Amino acid sequence: MCHQTVCEIDLERLMEMELERWSSEDCRETGRGGGRTQCDCSQLGHFGLFFDLNPGEPLSPLALATISYIGAIVSVFCLLLLLLTYLSSKTLRRKEHGRILINISVSLLCLYVVFVVAGLVTSVGPLCGLVAALFHYIMLVFFGWTAAEAVFLYHKLAVVLGNPIHHYVWKAGLTVWLSPLVVTAISVGLGYKYYINPYYCRATEWPFWLGHILPVSIIGIFNWIVFAIIMLKLCLGTVKVDVERDSARRTFKKNFFIAVGLSLLLGLGWGFGLTATSSDLKELTFALQVIFSLFVGSQGVLIFVFHGLRSPQFRLVWHLPLV
């Protein structure tokens, strides 16, 4: 065990460096020499750190980490199953929506994997910086694909007259996979030191604000606008459906599933992470971080359910009953 007094001294030194996110409970002894005890301290990672503008020590880091890691592992399994099904079915993967869904699933899967790895390398500075840069890139790729899905749905459902976008998925793929690489490379090149942190592997300072929060916020606002337009047209369309004697309950249920399915693919719930920023109201912050961690952790599972199990063609691949 580390000597508590030594760790407390190190903690005071870190606080003077404005890195007061440490907790002496997360310290372990790594060696002794010269009358000093070396302590390796880290902070348990959780999904709330993705958008936390002022990271601090949560009330129960173990609870948040448990929720986040269990959710990530289960979602990874579901996304792998979804990808296996789509890649093995020519009918599913040849559709543009199916190929966009594959890319969204791949980027989200990579995001979960990087998150898990990031929690294991906080004590290795250069490796932590590399993982932080990779996390930055994958996060932008994921949100880029949600924007690509928004453009695709808008052009398909909202644009009445218009020419189809030829080879849309290929064009979107080149843009989404390459442009975040440029943003990340510039951020790392100009501010590499902000990617190396002893407490969590994530960009800080201006790379976090300009390279992470700004583009994600712009994409989030765009996706919300597209979602509102599509749902408005859908609701206006239900008037005609009611005239055709379709039951109101069935129509509401159908629209509800469409809304949830769209919100998952457009990543609408991720903006909620900004409200989970650490503040003096620790109880409220903790509650918001729990909710956000539950949502992000279940994102892969929900995509599997709403865009996998609910699809008749998906169930045919596994010979499941069509209900």
Residues of the domain holding 24: 1-41
> 225 and 90 share a domain?
yes
For 202, phi then psi, to 5°, come to -160, 150
The predicted structure's pLDDT at residue 64:
82
Whether 275 is in a domain gets the answer: yes
What gap in Å lies between CA 119 and CA 135, rounded to an integer? 12
Whether 240 is in a domain gets the answer: yes
> 145 and 255 share a domain?
yes
Q: What is the mean pLDDT of residues 193-198?
A: 81
Q: What is the mean pLDDT of residues 182-193?
A: 90
> 99 and 34 share a domain?
no
> 161 and 24 share a domain?
no
Whether 262 is in a domain gets the answer: yes
State which of 72-86, 222-236, 271-285 shows the largest mean pLDDT: 72-86
Lowest mean pLDDT of 4-13, 78-87, 138-147, 312-321, name the range.
4-13
User: Among candidates 58, 61, 21, 56, which has minimal Cα distance to 41?
Assistant: 21
> 96 and 186 share a domain?
yes
> 4 and 65 share a domain?
no
Whether 323 is in a domain gets the answer: no
> 142 and 65 share a domain?
yes
> 48 and 37 share a domain?
no
pLDDT at 19 over 50: no
Q: What is the mean pLDDT of residues 172-188?
A: 94
> 51 and 33 share a domain?
no
Lowest mean pLDDT of 3-12, 211-220, 257-266, 272-281, name the range.
3-12
Whether 133 is in a domain gets the answer: yes
Tokens 């093995």 correspond to what residue?
88
pLDDT, tens digit, 9 for 90 and up, residues 128-169: 889 999 999 999 999 999 999 999 988 887 766 556 778 899
Average pLDDT of the chain to the nearest whole number: 77
Q: Which two tokens stand for residue 209?
A: 């604000």
> 181 and 253 share a domain?
yes
What gap in Å lies between CA 310 and CA 183, rounded to an integer? 37
Tokens 């503040």 correspond to what residue?
279
According to the 3-state scheme, what is the secondary structure of the chain?
A: CCCHHHHHHHHHHHHHCCCCCCCHHHEEEEEEECCEEEEEECCCCCHHHHCCCCCCCCCCHHHHHHHHHHHHHHHHHHHHHHHHHHHHCHHHHCCHHHHHHHHHHHHHHHHHHHHHHHCCCCCCHHHHHHHHHHHHHHHHHHHHHHHHHHHHHHHHHHCCCCCCCCCHHHHHHHHHHHHHHHHHHHHHHHHHHHHCCCCCCCCCHHHHHHHHHHHHHHHHHHHHHHHHHHHHHHHHHHHHHHHCCCCHHHHHHHHHHHHHHHHHHCCHHHHHHHHHCCCCCHHHHHHHHHHHHHHHHHHHHHHHHHHHHCCHHHHHHCCCCCC
> 27 and 144 share a domain?
no
Whether 152 is in a domain gets the answer: yes
13 pLDDT band, cuts 50/70/90, is: very low
* CATH number reported for the structural domain that contains residue 284 in this entry: 1.20.1070.10
Measure CA of the first residue to CA of the last residue in the chain; give whole Å: 57
301 pLDDT band, cuts 50/70/90, is: very high
The predicted structure's pLDDT at residue 145:
94
> 37 and 94 share a domain?
no
pLDDT at 20 over 50: no
Strand partners, 41: 27
The predicted structure's pLDDT at residue 32:
61
The predicted structure's pLDDT at residue 110:
95
Supply the pTM of this predicted model: 0.80
Q: What is the mean pLDDT of residues 20-41?
A: 52
Domain count, the chain: 2
The alpha-carbon radius of gyration of the chain (Å, integer) is 22
Q: What is the mean pLDDT of residues 209-223?
A: 90
Whether 322 is in a domain gets the answer: no
Whether 79 is in a domain gets the answer: yes
Q: What is the mean pLDDT of residues 286-292?
A: 84
